[in-house]
Chain A
Amino acid sequence: MPQYFRDSPESLVPDALAGFAAAHADLVAYNPDHGYFRTRHTAPTRRVGLVSGGGSGHEPLHSGFLGTGMLDAACPGRIFASPHNRQIFEASRAVARADGVLHIVKNYTGDRINFGIAAERLAHEGIRCARLLIDDDLATDSDDIAVGRRGTGATLIVEKILGAAADEGRGLEDLVALGTDVTRRARSLAVAAAAHTTPQSGTPAFTLPDNVLEFGVGIHGERAEGTTPHAPLGKLVETMTDQLLAALPDSAGSRVLALVNGLGSITSLELYGIRHAVAKALDDRGVGLDRSLTGTFVSALDMRGFSLTLFATDAEALRLWDAPARTPAWPL
């Protein structure tokens, strides 16, 4: 049975936070009183502080993307649990700039409520605050799901593009409009061959029969609505690509950015193979691949699987994507 390398289930997150802070001390600072990270370097032109956060277990999201060109502060919660509103409030207060703060929030009930309470507290102090809700997961796109689509891989794309836009000195409303448009034009799907290991028990969150994939998983070990036979990779990626392309807005052009994201324990060898299959599937369908990013960015502890995000690009988005960023985990 797989076991995590850690002293105790309780020490997993705090030890990782301490290690992360020390390992990247030139880039980020940890506030132990209030439990958030902030960047040590920010473009002086920035008028809005960018704050994100969420449960731990999705590393390198979000702390890995603190730095010039990306986030100002990140609030790590416990494993798969929303940060407390106090963390978000204090982090926001610390990095608010002339035009306030923007909260980048993945669509989960706990995150919505805790970021919402923090926003009320910020308003109470006269600090401008707006929210960008990320809801890109195609697997939860159903009228039966009242809470709406989950937020997954598109979060990274939004954080990169908005980071660059914030560096240009854009205001709060402008950033919300841009981020809303990016989110609207991005959709993700994820598959898993094996569940993550529950940190408390050391057991898999669920088990799958041999040669069956869970199709449409989330990033908290949620099971998908359905399974699919473990087909050859090319066929699987074609299915995912077709579903994602069909879900992108009609107004979008025929050029995309692809994020090939590992969920925790998939190998680089496999991820680059997936990247290859995605390029072929897009090419076969006459869709241009403008940019791509391959690696583990939005993980689900050690889930053995990957997500694919397609984002319908335009010239401005590409320019912002290509702008320099310096963070612990941004690879370009």
Chain B
Amino acid sequence: MPDQPGPKGLTHTAVMDWMTRFAATVRSVEPELTALDQKAGDGDFGANLVTGMDGVRRALDALAAGAGNGERDRRGPDAPLDAAARVFLDDVGGTSGPLFGLLFQELADALGMAAAPPGTAALALGTAAGAAAIQRVGEAEVGDKTMVDALVPAARALASCEPTADPAHALHVAAVAAHRGARSTTDLRARRGRASYTGDHSRGVPDPGALAVALLFASAHAELTSIGRLPVS
């Protein structure tokens, strides 16, 4: 019998489903992400993210078919995230793509090192480490109108959950916090990233990178994906 997403732990199958849903979600909202990035950035964000997640989908297929994933346990809960990290770090251009790779890498590490099956504590640890790595590299703070505006609230929300809480609940809380953070970027003037060169043109447009982070957490659950509708119009 295949393993099921347990009430208190993230199984390999659950994480595979999470990544698969994220790939489907970004594909369905790619036109909106591109439209947003064209208003304030250089317009390649949506395409880069979709290209990256298409690569992740192929990597997940290879994983399911038993292809190698380095030294990791191919059936571990961290394997799909590790595969996503390799794709985004190695093959996705621009700046935001590899930064997503760092988040996936930290999530994979936290899930891989936790006692099986990993739960809310590992998610909180991995998200916080991912946010820290992205901030070390990109030097953005909350309020600079970048993916950090969604990621840091998500990390805080996860940290505020009981470590033993049901990860489904914790991911829900994180998705809501990330979405609020992404929406909060709408009225900001970009201070980092390509949009920072467009001055006040970035006002009135939510940051697509922050929205993508919100969609990542929303994609963790099929029932949550519906809140991932983008506030574009």
Contacts and interface: CB of A to CB of B under 8 A. Distances in A.
Q: Do A and B associate with each other?
A: yes
Interface of A: 84-86, 89, 110, 112-114, 116-117, 119-121, 124, 146
A114 B98 CA distance: 8
Given A114-B95, A116-B137, A117-B99, 15 more contacts: A85-B98, A89-B89, A110-B95, A113-B98, A113-B99, A116-B136, A116-B138, A117-B98, A117-B101, A117-B137, A120-B102, A120-B105, A120-B137, A124-B105, A124-B109
Nearest to A85: B98
Contacts of B47: none
Contacts of B137: 112-113, 116-117, 119-120
B61 interface: no
B5 interface: no
Interface in B35-78: none
A113 B91 CA distance: 16
B145 to A, nearest CB: 14
Contacts of B91: 86
A146 B89 CA distance: 27
Nearest to A89: B89
Size bracket, chain B contacts: 10 to 19
Contacts of B102: 117, 120
B136 A85 contact: no
B31 to A, nearest CB: 27
24 contacts: A84-B93, A85-B89, A85-B98, A112-B137, A113-B95, A113-B98, A113-B99, A113-B137, A113-B138, A114-B95, A114-B98, A116-B136, A116-B137, A116-B138, A117-B99, A117-B101, A117-B102, A120-B102, A120-B105, A120-B133, A120-B136, A120-B137, A121-B105, A146-B191
Interface of B: 89-91, 93, 95, 98-99, 101-102, 105, 109, 133, 136-139, 191
Contacts of A121: 89, 105
A98 B101 CA distance: 27
Contacts of B109: 124
Contacts of A146: 191
Nearest to B96: A113
Contacts of B89: 85-86, 89, 117, 121
Contact of A86 (B90, B133, B139): B90
B72 to A, nearest CB: 13
A47 B99 CA distance: 30
A119 B95 CA distance: 15
Contacts of A112: 137, 139
A86 B90 CA distance: 5
A253 B38 CA distance: 52
- The 9 residue pairs across chains A and B that have the minimum distance between CB atoms: A116-B137, A117-B98, A86-B90, A120-B133, A85-B98, A113-B95, A117-B137, A120-B102, A113-B137
Contacts of B139: 112
